[in-house]
Every structure is written in structure tokens, then in C-alpha cells.
Amino acid sequence: MSDARDWHTASVFLNGKVLVTGGWNGTTPYNSAELYDPSTGIWTTTGNMNNARGHHEACILSNGKVLVIGGTDLMGFLNSPELYDPSTGTWKTTGNMTNVRGYHTASVLANGKVLVTGGFSSGGVLNSAELYDSSTGIWTNTGSMIYARFEHRASVLSDGKVLVSGGNTNSAINSAELYDPSTGTWTPTGNMVNGRFAHTASVLSNGKVLVTGGYNGNITVNNAELYDPSKDTWTTIGNMTNARVRHRASVLSNGKVLVTGGANGNDVLNSTELYDPSTHTWTITSNMNNARGSHVASVLLNGKVLVTGGFNDNSDTLNSAELY
């Protein structure tokens, strides 16, 4: 990449290109954005965002534009979103969120709206949620979560509901809750077996949700568990080989899940491993060329996984990218 960055985002367009936005390099937040073309393996710069930001979220909307939401800059937390138009390579601002927030989640719902949940702000941990309507550019408040949380995860289920799992409220929590877009309300669901934040949550081809790793408030963990929406229950499965936090998980075209990098409390990892849903087992696969945490992993249209940026064992921010 042109710029070294962590806490950035990456979005895969229908034409196969990948848009990387913002992030931090040490004490500097970026407003830069760049495009990766898998057909050539080349990065090109594109229009800069209006605001430098990291710890933000990005979603591809039904109209093909990318919505970048919130995050942090040198002044603190942001409520500003902006839209990237891939046809022009330019950004424009859109309506502000009600709340400033970073370390939040953003999910595209079946109706095309974007649900943003929780996060951290200058006032503390948030339980608020709001909806963005791309047809109007307006945000509206929706039902608040039962628990305030940040560094949690949100997963859109096959029935259109959104599962929020874990997070940090000054301690790791094991609670999970479901958002129903038809009513705008949250209901508690079965608790995870283990409290965790900065974990991963992946929707599998069978509709279940795989949660891996994270930090439990005392140590980085290697445990994993599955949520079954049909039973509203969590069950533990085999542990990963390595404990890891701020790692990434990617659902591959064969249904397996590739977990990459992260940190284990002492070291930043270059190790990767695969979860097989048919056997509930983990196997080691080849190491990345670079150890990295707080990176981004994107599944490309050709089935390969593009890993970008992050930080290494020396706390250096990386501009390298690699393919699995």
C-alpha cells in the first residue's frame, strides 16, 4: 500500500477491486484511501476522505457506494460519515450520526439501511443504536441495546436479525442480544460461555455464528464457540491452537474459516489456522510473511484472501499486503 496503516477498513466492490480507507500510523490518523486491483496486483491512490479517521466502520450500500462511519481522529471521537462514489473516485459528506463513536459496529440490513451499534465516545461506553437511510442521507435513533459495549461484534443472520456478541464495558462481557429490524427492538439471547472483546464473529454457510478468541479481561483466549439461531444457544467447540486478540476471521468459498494473525498477550502473530465446520476442528496452515494485528482481511471474488496493514511486534505500522 502507499501508506502504512492499522485500524483501517477494506471494502470489496462487485468489480473485484478493494477500497482501503483511513487508519492510524502511530500517532497520525489518515484521510487517504487507495484501491487494490486483483487482476494486476497493483495499488492506486484514490480521492482522500474529508476527515482523517481510524477505528471507524465501512459498509458497501445497495447503490454501490461506500459509507464510512465515525471513528477517531486527533481531536477525539467522530459522528461524521461520508460516502465514496467508485464511479468518480470522490467523497462527499452525508448526515451526521446522533452520537460520536469509535470501536462500534455497522451492519447493512436486508432493507438496505445501516445499523450502527454501541462503541465508545467522550462520554463513555454507548448502548445506543441508530439507522442510516441511504435514500435520504438521514440517521434516526432506534432501540438501544440492553448492554452498553464497545469492541463487540455484530452479525447479520439469515433471518435478517442482527446478533451482537460480547464487548467491553470496562470488563469483558459474555452477553449477546438480537436486534429485530421489523420492530426496532433488542431482546436478550443466550449468553456466550466466555466473556470476550476484540474477538471475531463469522456467519457460517449453515447459518450458525462462529466466535473466536479475544480478551477476557485477564488474558487473551484461544477458545471458540458457536451460536445456533434455531436453538438460541451457544456451545463450545475445539480451541484454536493459538490464543489471539485483534485477529481476523474470513469465511472461505469452501465453507472453512481462516483465522489470521493477532496478538497473544506477548507477541504479535504471523500464524494462521483453519476451522472446519463439518468436524469442528482446527488445523494449522501456512504462516503469513509478516506478523500483524489490527489488520484487515478481505475475501476476494477469486476466493483468495487479501490481508492488509496492521502492526507488528515492534509496534511498527505496516504498509505490506499479502494473499492467501
- Note the pLDDT of residue 73: 97
- The residue ranges of every structural domain in the chain are 240-324
φ, ψ at 41 (rounded to 5°): 70, 20
CA distance 59 to 132: 11
169-192 pLDDT tens trace: 989 999 999 999 999 999 999 999
- Note the pLDDT of residue 133: 97
- Cell numbers linked to 294: 489490527
- Note the pLDDT of residue 103: 98
Q: What Cα–Cα distance (Å) separates residue 239 from each residue in 70, 213, 254, 292? A: 34, 9, 21, 21
- Note the pLDDT of residue 284: 97
- Note the pLDDT of residue 260: 98
- Note the pLDDT of residue 228: 98
CA distance 33 to 199: 26
Residues of the chain falling short of pLDDT 70: none
- Cell numbers linked to 8: 483501517
**Residue 224 host element (H or E):** strand 224-228
22-33 pLDDT tens trace: 999 999 999 999
* Contact by Cβ (8 Å): 125, 168: yes
What pTM was computed for the model?
Answer: 0.97
- Cell numbers linked to 322: 499479502
List, in order, residues 6 or more apart from 40 with CB less than 8 Å away.
none
- Note the pLDDT of residue 85: 98
φ, ψ at 139 (rounded to 5°): -100, 140
Residue 44, helix vs strand vs coil = strand
